[in-house]
Amino acid sequence: MNISIFYFFNSFASVSLWQDRIIWFLAEPLIYIMIALAVIFIFYYYKLYNLKSLYNSLINNWKEIIYIPVTTVLGWFMAKILKELIQTDRPFTILNDINVLFIESGHAFPSGHSATISALAFAIFFKNKKLGYIFMLVGLLIGMARIASGVHFPIDIIGGYLLGFLVAFFAKSL
């Protein structure tokens, strides 16, 4: 089933140049845009833009302010560690008849992009439900694009999402 779902999503790659550019945008740079938007959210949510209240906001809310960035980095870091422990191959190294839009190095499981965006999305969700849902939706698009581009199997994406959720959930408790 993992392979069948992979082939379905991968069939969207190499259809047209514009479609490949959209898939590449979703799979690669979009995560960095989402991280930048999360930083903007933190600044506005905690009113860090106001110099008069900056010091008080940092003193009173420092745990909440660092929760989202620390959770995001921790999701990425945990994915890196698990990749080295599990060491699964990427689709383009196992399968011959696929469309590959770009090459990624390293191991595949869990997806670092999915773990990172999932940790970010759930951390935001625990602070602001509406914005969290938007980040989750974007996270799904990033995951599907990573499959379509030929660099991850669906199980890699699911593992990354689960890891990101767990990191955000347990970091929330600290």
Instruction: Please identify which residue in the block is written with the tokens 């959720």.
Output: 165
Mean pLDDT computed over every residue of the chain = 92
What is the C-alpha to C-alpha distance for residues 93 and 111, in angstroms, rounded to an integer? 16
pLDDT digits (tens, 9 = 90+) for 102-128: 988 899 999 999 999 999 999 999 999
pLDDT above 70 covers a percentage of the chain that reads 100
Q: Write the pLDDT tens digit of every residue in 120-165.
A: 999 999 999 999 999 999 999 999 999 999 999 999 999 999 999 9
d(CA 7, CA 17): 19
Alpha helices in the chain (DSSP H): 2-10, 17-27, 30-45, 51-86, 91-94, 112-125, 129-148, 154-173
Q: For residues 14 and 149, give the distance between their C-alpha atoms in angstroms, rounded to a whole number.
A: 9
Q: What's the number of CA atoms in the CB half-sphere (13 Å) around residue 60?
A: 8
Q: Give me the pLDDT at residue 43, please.
A: 84
